[in-house]
């Protein structure tokens, strides 16, 4: 039995429980631990409504019922259409969790929190890295839909974003589940490796040219999927430089169980 044949992989798409959609390729900050700090990006580089419609149509075609994260390698509130886009997504996906993560700089200045939630946002995380934001954002601390995350609460392990940031992390080499249960979509429709692929080096396909399931079944996607399942991700482009592969907790029992039918007696 071929555990990675197309029939099994079609069923496996149900394992995708969250996806990220990039509406703008820009961040207003230059945080030292983020590769964006060293990149010259254009705030006018935004997703077209045509591309958004195509992405949502493809997700509807496979009855996607997981989480939709309206950000990817960017600051989502730099896109002044984010409230409108949230409403468009909510209209098409009335029952999905819609989530975004922001640095909080533009909350209640450029973008109103109440407008985001009124448009259909389910949850929001605010990463506040300096004292300037703390007082302004403290008023949201009692709202269960909003998580305020301090830099001191981020944990002791800062992984290196696919080798794009000079940090270290000492854990036994394990597995990265992102290629099995997450999806990452750029503003031009490219489906990329993950949220550590800051230079967009690994592209599985483009939703403006291919169907979502065609991309999911593509040879390149299969190579990455199989390699990670059998813990050979360190042999792949980009993954080989990423120390997130060394975090022993990422291959959880729940992930293994969902992919249990992909368990041949020996590696392929």
pLDDT 10s digits, 214-244: 999 999 999 998 888 888 888 888 888 887 7
Which stretches within the chain are classed as H helix?
A: 6-12, 49-61, 82-92, 113-119, 131-137, 178-181, 212-216, 219-229, 253-258
pLDDT of residue 243: 76
Q: What is the pLDDT of residues 109-147, one digit of tens each?
A: 888 989 999 999 999 988 766 666 666 676 776 788 877
Under the banding of pLDDT at 50, 70 and 90, the label for residue 107 is: confident
Residue of 129 and 98 predicted with greater confidence: 98
Under the banding of pLDDT at 50, 70 and 90, the label for residue 173 is: very low
Q: Using an 8 Å Cβ cutoff, are 204 and 220 in contact?
A: yes
pTM score: 0.82
Q: Quick one: average pLDDT of 30-41?
A: 82
Domain count of the chain?
1
212 assigned to some structural domain: yes
Helix (H, G, I), strand (E, B) or coil at 181: helix
172 assigned to some structural domain: no
Residue 154: pLDDT over 50: no
242 assigned to some structural domain: no
258 assigned to some structural domain: no
Residue of 159 and 65 predicted with greater confidence: 65
Q: Using an 8 Å Cβ cutoff, are 242 and 196 in contact?
A: yes
The gap between the terminal CA atoms of the chain, to the nearest Å, is: 12
95 assigned to some structural domain: yes
CA 183, CA 88: separation in Å to the nearest integer? 20
198 assigned to some structural domain: yes
DSSP secondary structure of 223-249: HHHHHHHTT-GGGSTTGGG-GGGG-TT
Q: Which domain holds residue 117?
A: 16-159+182-218
Q: Using an 8 Å Cβ cutoff, are 68 and 96 in contact?
A: yes
As beta bridge partners, residue 125 has 101, 147
pLDDT > 90 in the chain, percent: 47
How many H helices and E strands in the chain? 9, 8
Mean pLDDT taken over the chain: 81
| Domain CATH code at residue 87 | 3.20.20.70
Q: Which of 166-170, 207-211, 228-232: highest mean pLDDT?
A: 207-211
pLDDT of residue 70: 98
Q: What is the pLDDT of residues 60-80, one digit of tens each?
A: 999 999 999 999 999 999 999
Q: Quick one: average pLDDT of 91-110?
A: 92
257 assigned to some structural domain: no
154 assigned to some structural domain: yes
Residue of 264 and 228 predicted with greater confidence: 228
How would you classify the pairing of strands 98-102 and 123-128? parallel
CA 184, CA 200: separation in Å to the nearest integer? 11
C-alpha of 41 from chain center: 19
pLDDT > 70 in the chain, percent: 75
Query: Is the CA virtual torsion 235, 241, 247, 250 positive or negative?
Result: negative
DSSP secondary structure of 44-95: T-B--HHHHHHHHHHHHHTT--SEEE--SSS-GGGSTTHHHHHHHHHHH-TT
């Amino acid at each position: 039995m071929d555990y990675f044949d197309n029939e099994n992989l079609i069923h496996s798409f149900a394992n995708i429980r969250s996806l990220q959609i990039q509406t703008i390729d820009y961040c207003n900050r230059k945080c030292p631990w983020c590769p964006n700090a060293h990149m010259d990006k254009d705030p006018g580089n935004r997703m077209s409504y045509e591309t958004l419609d195509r992405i949502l149509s493809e997700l509807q075609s496979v009855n996607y019922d997981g989480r939709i994260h309206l950000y990817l390698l960017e600051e989502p509130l730099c896109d002044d259409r984010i409230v409108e886009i949230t409403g468009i997504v909510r209209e098409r996906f009335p029952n999905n969790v819609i989530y975004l993560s922001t640095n909080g700089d533009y909350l209640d200045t450029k973008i109103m929190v109440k407008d985001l939630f009124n448009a259909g946002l389910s949850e929001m995380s605010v990463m506040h890295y300096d004292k300037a934001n703390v007082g302004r954002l403290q008023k949201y601390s009692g709202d269960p839909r909003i998580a305020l995350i301090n830099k001191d609460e981020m944990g002791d392990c800062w992984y290196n974003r696919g080798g794009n940031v000079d940090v270290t992390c000492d854990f036994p080499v394990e597995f990265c589940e992102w290629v099995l249960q997450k999806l990452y979509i750029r503003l031009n429709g490219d489906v990329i490796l993950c949220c550590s692929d800051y230079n967009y080096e690994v592209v599985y396909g483009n939703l403006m040219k291919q169907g979502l399931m065609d991309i999911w079944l593509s040879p390149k996607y299969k190579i990455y999927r199989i390699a990670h399942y059998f813990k050979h991700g360190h042999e792949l482009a980009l993954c080989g430089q990423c120390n997130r592969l060394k975090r022993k907790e990422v291959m959880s029992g729940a992930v293994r169980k969902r992919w249990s039918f992909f368990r041949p007696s020996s590696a392929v």
